[in-house]
Amino acid sequence: MAGVCIRCGNQKELIQSHVVSALLGKRIFPEPPMKAYTVRYGATPPGTTTPSSPAATRWRLAQDLPKPRLMCRACDGALSADEDALAKWLDTIGIAKKPGPIYDDACLKPTTLACLPDFREYNLPEEQANLVRRVALITAWRALHATAQSSSVPGSPSLVLQYLQSCRGKALHDTVTRFLDSPQAPVPGYLSVLVPPYPLTIAIAGKPDVAPFGWDVMLHPGGDGSTTYVVCLWFAHWLVLWVPDQPHGDPVVAELVAMTFMSRSAATWPMQVLAPRVQAAASAL
């Protein structure tokens, strides 16, 4: 399918690619013989069905990560190096297979976001912290564009798509492009990678062996007529929050507004928006 690649901006053949890298998904979730893994709603336990059975087929289709058409093959492939590096690092530290090591990791500290007493974030060495930030930013950026695409219909662009097509959106594209082109470039906007409390994960999933998965772009109107966009993405045991930009010129005010709305999104979006969607999808299987 031809379209405009979100990375290079050229009209090209767009491929289906995961918003969340399959390299990460295959390391987070057990992989049964049919080469699928427990994502989003839950799954038939490995070994109880065969790949040719209807139940196994339904399970495989339901659990695969969404693959919208966002980029050309060259641009999509160019982003895989960071995702592969993070996947291999997860292999070395062994925190990705079971919830225990994820929630007990010594690198965790209380989040700096206000009003989230049970949420934590990572305090990693600089090299690993930069890698996590890069992959989280790439994932949130894909989710932003995927939301703009899925929420729009021909002739009626959604508010998210209108944002990306505005001067703000074009400035954001330039900032993200510089970030992707240079490891030394600062992270665009404001980014947090959180480990939510395990009971919240269970509340969303419905049971311990299910891995919640989903994303949204939350729009927060300000008293001055501005709108703050917060990309919320939940993947297994992690919550990524990204405010791509702020319309405020004062950097102190911009950071305060970003942190306030990120905190508000983390406190409300998982149970109010994501949980009903995950549970409805699970009941439909």
Token pair belonging to 273: 């928006």
The pLDDT value recorded for residue 282 is 67
**Average pLDDT per consecutive 10 residues, the chain (285 residues; last block may be shorter):** 91 90 65 37 32 38 67 92 84 63 78 94 89 93 92 90 94 94 89 93 80 87 86 91 85 91 96 85 64
How many angstroms separate the most distant Cα atoms in the chain?
Answer: 59
End-to-end CA distance of the chain: 29
- 3-state DSSP of 61-112: HHHCCCCCEEEEHHHHHHCHHHHHHHHHHHHHHCCCCCHHHHHHCCCEEECC
* pLDDT for position 20: 84
- What DSSP letter does each residue of the chain carry, written as one string? -EEE-TTT--EEEEEE--SS-HHHHHHHS---TTS----TT--PPTTSS-TTSHHHHHHHHHHSPP--EEEEHHHHHHTHHHHHHHHHHHHHHT-SSSHHHHHH-TTEEE-SSTT-TT-EEE---HHHHHHHHHHHHHHHHHHHHHHHHHT-BTTB--HHHHHHHSHHHHHHHHHHHHHHH-TTSPPSSEEEEEE--HHHHHHHHSSTT---EEEEEEEEE-TTS-EEEEEEEEETTEEEEEE---S-S-HHHHHHHHHHHHHHHHHHHIIIIIHHHHHHHHHH-
Predicted confidence at residue 257, as pLDDT, reads: 92
pLDDT given at position 43 = 29
pLDDT at 7: 94
pTM of the full predicted structure? 0.85
- φ, ψ at 148 (rounded to 5°): -60, -40
